[in-house]
Amino acid sequence: MIVVIPARYASTRFPGKALADLGGKSVLRRCYEQVAKVVATDGIVVATDDQRIVTECERYEMRSIITSAACLTGTDRVAEVAQRIAAPWYINVQGDEPFLNPDGLRQLIRFTETASADLSIINACAPISHEADFRSVTVPKVVRDMSGNLLYISRAAIPTTKSLEFGGAFRQVGLYAFRAEALHQFAKQPNKTPLEALEDVEILRFLELGFRVAMIEVQESGIAIDTPEDLERAKRFLATT
């Protein structure tokens, strides 16, 4: 098992967010440190296409790998790492989760250890506590079947009532586990799949390719950094912890 943290500088909604300052440390460094509470550092690698991020990694002794600038998504970046490093599972931790709950990562790793042979993709989700997050387009919302498998994920406010009320929902957490073959099939696609492109949520590519995606529920992991506004919320959150 290896943990890969995809990190790019040229984020569409927030360029440079991986290196944005959050209480004296970069968002990426805070994420790495949370992962290092669970996994030995020789089992963690940052995957990036930007020398500025490599420099940050070198400064704080975080192992990194340069990946192609042509990668469509962070998962494509993980797939490129899988071509270079052999492992039974690849844990993808989004680099914009500076408050990642280590217990959630431990839970995901334990799930991989007992997963059936026909399961090759696992994603995490957490309850949404605030209606503002339910309404926010920067928060992907998860809908599962009765067995806990992913039915759909959307930036829209789902599931909802006829009156479009907030009746409880789950948000995607940037924790994934993949087997190599699933990553290979994912990365073979020359373009984003239709729903993936529409929603800008990469896990949809697996659904569109016919894969089963098992969802595990973890505790809330704080604020994911997707916009400058998220960073300001994160700074306020950090000041209260």
| Predicted local distance difference test score (pLDDT) of residue 2 | 97
* CATH of the domain spanning 2-120+172-239: 3.90.550.10
Enumerate the H helices of 63-127 as residue ranges.
74-84, 102-114
Encoded amino acid at 234, one letter? A
Confidence of residue 72 (pLDDT cuts 50, 70, 90): very high
Encoded amino acid at 56, one letter? E
| Predicted local distance difference test score (pLDDT) of residue 199 | 98
pLDDT in tens, 174-204: 899 999 999 999 999 999 999 999 999 999 9
Judge whether residue 30 has pLDDT over 90. yes
Q: Count Cβ atoms below 10 Å from residue 197 Cβ, excluding itself.
A: 14
Judge whether residue 12 has pLDDT over 80. no
**What is the radius of gyration, based on Cα positions, of the chain?**
17
Angle at 134 between CA 76 and CA 205, to 5 degrees: 25
Where along the chain do its domains lie? 2-120+172-239
| Predicted local distance difference test score (pLDDT) of residue 221 | 67
Place of tokens 């993936």: 196
Judge whether residue 211 has pLDDT over 80. yes
The predicted model scores a pTM of 0.92
Residue 17, SS3? helix
Closest CA to 95 of 141, 64, 58: 64
